[in-house]
Amino acid sequence: MATANEDSPVVLVSGANRGIGAAIVRELKAHGYRLSLGARNVESLESEHGPADDMTHYARFDAFDPASAEAWVAEAAAKFGRIDGLVNNAGLGEHVHLMDDNEEALDRLWAVNVKAPLRMTRLCMPHLEATGRGRIVNIVSLSGKRVRNPLVGYNMTKFATMGLTHTTRHVGWDKGVRATAICPSFVRTEMSAYTSKVTPDEMIQPETLAELVRTAIELPNNAAMAEMLVNCRLEDTL
């Protein structure tokens, strides 16, 4: 296991208390990163990852509360003096079908899956630009690349997050910021528990996805990957 020190890169991870987010934390921590972790319940972070220390910072992050994002980024920058990477992992998989009349659920999907990562990107961008090799990784979905289900709310917001990722690449490129969208099929987490299309063992494992996140962060500026499409079952065009 690598040892973190005061020169180690600093990465913010949202939704870090379980599932993919928790796996990303374990992967980055094992390779010496300093981490600032956000979740709605800070106690859940402590329960999952142990007490905060000199190399790990915990913050309340609620995608519905813009002030929590502002406070989180400010606290992380103050603690570590820099921000090298942002992983927008927190997401919502609420089911809204095409003909559902459920504006409240649709608003929640847009708030969590699109507006929150956009807000975090805006807040972190000055810090990322200052490093000359800032990294943003957005955990999206293959549902942001193609449609294979009737969940219009989820599909629309994931396509929008792809638009956010590519716009971020365009805006940040000249200052060394690289943005990557990681688009997995079914991942073995609570969000995929509803499906019977593949078994849990056939799904992408969170630890595998976490390795890809680290790869996206560590690739040099001249070998950036805009998208990583990750399949656990055959798809003709992906």
What tens digit of pLDDT does each residue of 144-155 get?
999 999 999 999
Q: Which tens digits make up the pLDDT trace of 35-60?
A: 999 999 999 999 999 999 999 999 99
Give the catalytic positions in this structure.
Answer: 154
* H helix or E strand, kind and range, residue 49: helix 42-49
The model's pTM: 0.95
Nearest to 137 by CA among 73, 69, 61, 228: 228
What integer is the mean pLDDT of 166-174? 98
pLDDT at 4 over 70: no
The mean pLDDT value for 124-140 works out to 98
pLDDT over threshold 90, residue 2 = no
What value, to the nearest 5°, has the Cα angle with vertex 33 and ends 127 and 83? Answer: 5
